[in-house]
Amino acid sequence: MASRRCLLRLLSSRLVPHRPQPLSPVSIVTRTLTSSPQPLGPFTPRALTSLQFCPSRCHFATRSSGDEEDDEEHYEDEESEGEWGDEEEAVAAKKPSGKTEEEKVVEAAEIGYKVVGPLGSDEKPFKPYEPVFAIVQIGSHQFKVSNGDSIFTERLKFCDVNDKLILNRVLMLGSQTQTVIGRPTLPDAAVHAVVEEHALDAKVIIFKKKRRKNYRRTKGHRQELTKLRITNIEGIDKAETVAVAA
């Protein structure tokens, strides 16, 4: 058994190829300088600093050329889209829609509001709190509001900051003495509001991935919002506040 182990060690030592030791950059420079046919000037340390050594790159490709083309298209798409982490401080200006005033009024009525006009400098629409609430529908969302409340909706078209709105799609009204339910809406009810600002919601990250396909997409989205301040609720009897003697 001992002799077999000795033979195996000898064979393994002979079969292993000899690995040459890597040369240092200084020895490579001296070899190139001595092997050049033309005579060179005196050797200075600046020659070493001027030379740049780039290690050889080995590319091991196990995919077909079609996959490489897909990767290039993926990188081009990412460059064209830009970095999703860049924050936008202000809402981009909207381009003119090119619609007539009648079309704007009809589209706004389908959403559930009507633009009255800009708020005057001498107007004071804000009133003290009243114990009355209403449920209004704007687009596909419903809100329970009272006098003085502020709500955020999806960006409303055809209205600017400080514009007065009438929310005419009222589903329900309520007070301390009565409750009125619409079928489905109340035709005589209305909720008045003022546009305070157009803003952006918090960023939402959308990440898509397909495993084993080298497919990854990362995008960011910020929903455009409109902030409304409720000023008045009409269509229901409001109880008068009576001072109670202590």
pLDDT tens string 64-121: 445 555 555 554 455 444 444 455 555 545 667 778 989 999 999 999 999 999 998 8
Tally of structural domains, the chain: 1
Pair 168, 177: CB distance under 8 Å: no
Amino acid at 133: F
Number of Cβ within a 10 Å radius of residue 105:
14
Residue 123 falls within a domain, yes or no?
yes
Residue 143 falls within a domain, yes or no?
yes
pLDDT at 42: 55
Confidence band for 204, pLDDT divided at 50, 70 and 90: very high
Pair 179, 172: CB distance under 8 Å: yes
Residue 37 falls within a domain, yes or no?
no
Contacts of 218 (CB under 8 A, 6+ apart): 84, 205, 206, 207, 208
Q: Which domain holds residue 190?
A: 101-234
Q: Is residue 213's pLDDT more than 60?
A: yes
Residue 56 falls within a domain, yes or no?
no
Report CA 108 to chain centroid distance, whole Å.
27
Report CA 19 to chain centroid distance, whole Å.
55
Residue 135 falls within a domain, yes or no?
yes
Closest CA to 161 of 194, 187, 138, 134: 194
C-alpha 218/C-alpha 100 separation (Å) is 39
Pair 153, 167: CB distance under 8 Å: no
C-alpha 64/C-alpha 67 separation (Å) is 6
Say whether pTM exceeds 0.85: no
Place of tokens 């008068």: 240
C-alpha 172/C-alpha 17 separation (Å) is 89
Residue 196 falls within a domain, yes or no?
yes
Beta-sheet strand order (sheet of 179-181): 141-146, 133-138, 170-174, 179-181
What is the radius of gyration, based on Cα positions, of the chain?
38
Residue 64 falls within a domain, yes or no?
no
Residue 216 falls within a domain, yes or no?
yes
